[in-house]
Every structure is written in structure tokens, then in C-alpha cells.
Amino acid sequence: MPELTNAEIIVKTAAFVRDKLEGEGSGHDWWHIQRVWNMAKELAHQIDEPIQLFVIELAALLHDIADHKFHNGDITVGPRVASEWLRTLDVDENIISHISDIIMDLSFKGADVKTPMRTIEGKVVQDADRLDAIGAIGIARAFAYGGHKSRELYNPEVQPTMHSNFEDYKKDTGHTINHFYEKLFLLKDRMNTYPAKKIAEERHKFMELYVSRFLEEWDGKK
């Protein structure tokens, strides 16, 4: 087989991911991937340093191919499935290992757990993924995920927990409003890149407004 060009590898990978995640019902569907892919490219264009767009695009496309949330918390499945796929396309082993590391490190693991990215490519993909968790779309995704997992919308008797380790974060089955306090409201201060910080601020404000309105309506005040 003649060697594929980078553009061909990206097209084939997008088709592979779309086929796997089309119609997924928890907010980790193909359209989430497409938004993260587009946002990652946009952030990369705005960053003034040498950057490997090929790595960014492949990591964005493959980052949720086998998310730990749907594999008993196992964070090694995603990187493994992504690596196996890239090997079928004869992608360079160093690039595969870089992408695999990005996918492994990407996820949020609790309010008090640091998730530093090792490379600028990883920082960009993490920012793009996190931007899709906040704002109007982030709100929709949080409730879609909560419904998928049969969680309550809100329960005023259950307070948020600032998780200090990934195990406790994974085990939490609390209501969706708590997820805003345990993760979504924290993301704006954890963006790695300047362009992502700017977008996050707007999205954050919208989420705050939404949750305050939600709580007012809950109490019959609006």
C-alpha cells in the first residue's frame, strides 16, 4: 500500500471516529468530536509558537474513542484503541506515542487533582475539549450525561464535593447541578492557552447566570 498523506490519515480517522460515535447519547457523540476538532484547529492558529497540527487534529479526533467513563474507569483503553488504529495507517511511532499520552492525560480527574499537559499540542486539545464542557453546549451536555446515567437534575440535600483523587471523582453519582461546582465552574481558571481563556470567560458567565436562574426557579422566586 502506498504511504498515506497526513491529510488522508485525518480524513480516514474522522470517518473511523464518526462511525464509532455517531448517535452516542451522553454528549460524547460525533458532534462533540467535530466541535473539539474545529476548536483545536482554531486555537492552534491563534498560538504564536511552533505547533504540530497533525498531532493536534488526530488527538482531538481520537480523544473520546473509548472514554474511561464508559470502560469502568480504565484510562488505558482510549490510548490503546487510538494507537491500534493509527498503527493500521502506518503513522510514525513517535507521533502515536505523543497522541496516546495526550489522550491519557486529557481528562478532568477531580477538583483538587492536577492534570498538566506535557506539550503545547496536548494543552490545545485539552482546552478545546474543556471549552465544549462549558457554556450553552456544556449545560446541554451535562444534563444529557446526567440523564444517560439516571442522575437527578438537582437535589438540595446533597452538597458538592471537591474531590481530591480520581477514584472518588469517578465513583461520585451526585446530581447534575453539583457537577457545575465540582467541575464546570472550575474550568475557566484551568485553561492552558490565552485564546481559550478568553472564550472560557464568556461561557463561564453564561453558565453562572443559568445556574443562578435555575436555583431561583427551584425556590419559586422567578
Give me the least distance between CB of 60 and Ni ion, in Å please.
9
60 binds, among ligand ADP, Ni ion, none (CB under 5 to 8 A by kind): none
CA distance 125 to 192: 10
- The correct pick among 110, 129, 134, 145 for binding Ni ion (CB under 5 A) is 129
CA distance 174 to 164: 16
Residues 6+ away with beta carbon under 8 Å from 26? 69, 70, 144, 145, 148, 149
Pick out residues in 97-126 that bind ligand ADP (CB under 6 A): 106-108
Residues 6+ away with beta carbon under 8 Å from 7? none
Pick out residues in 182-221 that bind ligand ADP (CB under 6 A): none
Taking CB under 6 A as the rule, does residue 64 contact ligand ADP?
A: yes
Taking CB under 5 A as the rule, does residue 64 contact Ni ion?
A: yes
Residue type, 188: K
Residue entry with cell 439516571: 150
Residue entry with cell 446515567: 149
78 binds, among ligand ADP, Ni ion, none (CB under 5 to 8 A by kind): none
> How many Cβ atoms from other residues are within 10 Å of residue 76's Cβ?
13
From 12-20, 137-145, 188-196, 205-213, give the range in contact with ligand ADP by CB under 6 A.
Answer: 137-145
Taking CB under 6 A as the rule, does residue 79 contact ligand ADP?
A: no
CA distance 173 to 175: 7
145 binds, among ligand ADP, Ni ion, none (CB under 5 to 8 A by kind): ligand ADP
Give me the least distance between CB of 184 and ligand ADP, in Å please.
7
Answer for the pair 44, 53: CB distance below 8 angstroms, yes or no. Answer: yes
Question: DSSP secondary structure string, 94-111?
Answer: HHHHHHHHHHHH-S---T
Give me the least distance between CB of 160 and ligand ADP, in Å please.
11
Query: Which phi and psi (to 5°) does residue 114 adopt?
Result: -80, 140
Rg over CA atoms, the chain:
18
**For residues 103 and 120, which CB has a smaller minimum distance to Ni ion in the complex?**
103
Taking CB under 6 A as the rule, does residue 176 contact ligand ADP?
A: yes
- The correct pick among 33, 37, 129, 199 for binding ligand ADP (CB under 6 A) is 129
From 2-10, 121-129, 189-197, 199-207, give the range in contact with Ni ion by CB under 5 A.
Answer: 121-129
* Residues of this chain that bind Ni ion (CB under 5 A): 64, 129
* Residues of this chain that bind ligand ADP (CB under 6 A): 27-28, 64, 67, 106-108, 129, 133, 138, 141-142, 145-146, 176, 179
